[in-house]
A and B are shown apart, each in its own frame.
Chain A
Amino acid sequence: MTSAAISHPSVRLSPGHGGAWIDLHVLAPLVKKELRDTLRNKWIVLYTIGFCVLALGLASLARASADMAGFAGFGRTAASLINLVLLLTPLMALSVGATSLVNDRERGMLSYLLAQPVTRTEVYLAKFIGLGLAMGVSILVGFGVSAMALSGASDAGLFVRMTALAFILALSMLAVGMLISAIVRRSGSATGLAVFCWLTFVLLADVGLMGAAIAFRMRIDTLFFVALANPLQAFKMAALSSFGASLDVLGPSGLWASTEFGSALPVILISSLVVWTVAPLLAGWFIFVRRPL
């Protein structure tokens, strides 16, 4: 045989159908391909442009109000950007993730790729990493544009914290999207389910939480932990706390959490987002490596 038989470093993750080995030499080109393909994806480009335009608009408004009110900076824009991130980032990540595997499966590309000496784990992981990096680029460009629009007044630390939080939120939504893609067979269904999840996280969860709080007379601590079950709420609280704002803007449960957990609160909030990344990612992987193509 040829150099194909050369020994290579590999990491054993766990046994599974078709082998669950990760060969970093195989993973790297697959990630590169995913990243390049995603950055060429017109939807990602549109999301990024939309994010930039809206971020610029918010930055201009913040600057205008700063001139009148006498204070400025990235912090004010960042506060406005939270709502923008809450709307756009989950939609982008969920839709891209949900169509990732299912599109390839429908076109027969997945079969062709898996007929090569690669494992399903590598293909799955490469998709997640490649798509995640593309999300990161998109978010970095969006925040970068707004930071540049406020050049001279930017708070670098806050910019980094906000970008990082938005990136973690994108990863968690991407993981949920990939779980959908591993479960669903058709791209139409995957997109529909992704939009439904987005609506649930953005709107229905809040409405449901308010209704449940009233109907069941929830205790404040229960209310806080139920709110944490929504990754968007966790992001919102983490983002607000990241620039020193008092969480009493979120009502009694926010106030309770900041008094109860103090400086540990950001860790708890970010942990919630990490769980929302790892759990669906593992569930999607488990389904993908075992399910017939």
Chain B
Amino acid sequence: MIRVHELTKSFGRSRVLTGVTFTVAPGEAVAMWGPNGAGKSTALRCVLGLLRYHGDIAINNMDIRTSGRAARRLIGYVPQELSFYDDLRVREAMRLFTKIRRVPTSRIAQRLADVGLTGHERKHIGDLSGGMKQKLAIAIALLADPPVLLLDEPTSNLDAASRREVLDSLIALRNNGKTILFTSHRSEEMERLANRVLTIENGVIVDRRVVEQSKKCDSTPDELGSTRLQSAPDHSRPLRDARTVPTPSTNGVTP
């Protein structure tokens, strides 16, 4: 579904990504893990076609450079922090994106309900808390029911309770067949949401791990109440229940 091959990105003389290669299969959730400044968000922005880059990126076999609109129709994007017109009301923002995505406005109520924003339709975006903005971004991303979700630190602005809610929703979406590529530095998200984890440091993938499926079963939404939440960012801690997979040779694409 997502294919990234030899992605290299520089800002001026500063190289941010070097030869990053990976794929995300349909229905798979892949995490890009690493410290701040590692290049995770830049990679995500390249996948969205927002930045120029060297290499190849395709969404469902469509080159993001030449078929940008068609490829982005397949993508729902949740930024690290929703930056949108503060004086726009929640319902107005949703209506705008239903028009852009060409979906019926009747979906708005359901999507807001899905993320727990029912009753906030008339609020200005500027009056929403960080967590509510994040939920709104998720609601907008899901408006057109896209098969691919790109999430940039999806729970970074949320408190523990909201984080659990959002993570539950994302796990449910993954279980329903959504393809998810997300960045994070929270080990909890890796363990519960990701099928595979790509560790990025200094713009290079330094480790690829598959998260054990048995643990994925433990993290189904029905049993979340017993899941321990890891509140502090913990990039350095090795992932529990994960095993290292061989790093692909040269330009090999990880299946």
Contacts and interface: CB of A to CB of B under 8 A. Distances in A.
B95 to A, nearest CB: 8
Interface residues on B, range: 35 or more
Contact of B65 (A17, A33, A37): A17
A111 B42 CA distance: 12
Contact of A116 (B72, B81, B83, B145): B72
B101 A116 contact: yes
Interface in B18-69: 45, 48-52, 65-69
A25 B102 CA distance: 8
A2 B51 contact: no
Interface string A1-28: 1111110100000000111010101101
A3 B102 contact: yes
Contacts of A26: 99-100
B96 A29 contact: yes
Nearest to B95: A29
Given A2-B103, A4-B73, A114-B50, A109 B144 contact: no
B83 A109 contact: yes
B79 A116 contact: no
B49 A18 contact: yes
A267 B29 CA distance: 62
Contacts of B104: 3
A112 B68 contact: no
B70 to A, nearest CB: 8
A217 interface: no
Nearest to A4: B144
A112 B96 CA distance: 13
A292 B69 contact: no
B103 A4 contact: yes
A28 B102 CA distance: 12
B221 interface: no
Contact of B79 (A3, A25, A111, A293): A111
B145 A2 contact: yes
Interface core residue of A5, A29, A112 (most chain B CB under 10 Å) = A112
A109 B79 CA distance: 10
B57 to A, nearest CB: 13
Contacts of B67: 19
Given A111-B45, A112-B79, A37 B101 contact: no
B52 A116 contact: no
Contact of A107 (B83, B88, B97, B100): B83
A8 B50 contact: no
A6 B69 contact: no
B85 A117 contact: no
A239 interface: no
Contacts, number: 92
Nearest to B48: A115
A228 interface: no
B203 interface: no
Nearest to A18: B68
A30 interface: yes
A267 B145 CA distance: 52
A100 interface: no
A172 interface: no
A119 interface: yes
Interface in B142-175: 144-147
A40 interface: yes
Contact of A117 (B65, B69, B83): B69
A21 B67 CA distance: 10
A111 B84 contact: no
Contacts of A213: none
Contacts of B102: 3-4, 6, 8, 25
A6 B102 CA distance: 8
Nearest to B51: A292
Contacts of A8: 102
Nearest to B9: A292
A129 B36 CA distance: 39
B50 A29 contact: no
A21 B52 CA distance: 18
Given A4-B146, A5-B73, A18-B68, 19 more contacts: A1-B73, A1-B74, A1-B147, A3-B104, A4-B103, A18-B49, A18-B65, A19-B66, A28-B99, A33-B96, A107-B83, A108-B83, A111-B45, A111-B79, A112-B77, A115-B50, A116-B77, A118-B100, A293-B50
Interface of B: 45, 48-52, 65-70, 72-75, 77, 79, 81-85, 87-88, 96-97, 99-104, 144-147
Interface of A: 1-6, 8, 17-19, 21, 23, 25-26, 28-30, 33, 37, 40, 107-109, 111-112, 114-119, 292-293
16 contacts: A1-B74, A3-B103, A3-B104, A4-B103, A4-B146, A18-B68, A19-B66, A28-B99, A33-B96, A112-B77, A112-B79, A112-B83, A114-B48, A115-B50, A115-B77, A117-B73
